Structure 1
């Protein structure tokens, strides 16, 4: 116990920056685990320990303990693939077969004439019902309206001609081209 206290005092007096060990590198065995009748370390073959690893009690020239686990370059971790939610046709029924009766009820409900009338008057309801039908693996009724068309994108503004902009004054360029044509005043004009 005294020997361990002396070693701890020596190590605590000269702290060494440590890094995490690689998971493949074995942890050092504690001193008390070695049997008393074990052969001395000098008798062990040199090929048993890697050259880069220092012995546990190694001390450098200036008397400070040598780090037995030298710092290593950390490799960048490979990116994990994103966990995507299920998307396939009928994925909910495949995950929970006990949900099949609810899908059948939904299909029956959508086939009713009153529901077809409601969906014809409010086609936005299909934006909610389409994904639910897909989750249950239900083919919607034949009277399914197409999704509402997306609004057309505005045409991009034409880029101002740089040569013409140079000929215009700042006020004229701002008036003609708007904020994109604004040029801050140049120094030394």
Structure 2
């Protein structure tokens, strides 16, 4: 697919329908690949050679121009660079994502968690002194 994409043998993608589909429930038995950088180099020693070849391929100015024209190449090469530990060239880097907004409206002020100081109660509403907790005293640790 990568070679066909570079050779212009692949047609433009068809537009997808805009309706949202319900996601199927997550399958815990599904294989999850590691997400850290260069994870493939430890279990597959031959991947070091592939990483070197990928670096040489990405240094080619023709491929860099092609990546700028065809975003599908980036979707193929970015995960490959990540698993082989190859630094992404400028044409492959994505712009930074905007900060995520919570479910609440961003313009609405957030409620303060600080409790405002209350005025003392009038004397008739105060509990009797017998109900008040004993005053706390600072004591030296035992053994002094």
Q: Indicate whether the TM-score tops 0.5.
A: no
TM-score between the two structures when normalised by the length of structure 1? 0.33
Higher relative contact order, chain-length normalized (CA < 8 Å, sep 6+)? 2
Who wins on radius of gyration, i.e. which is larger? 1
TM-score between the two structures when normalised by the length of structure 2? 0.42
More helix, by proportion: 1
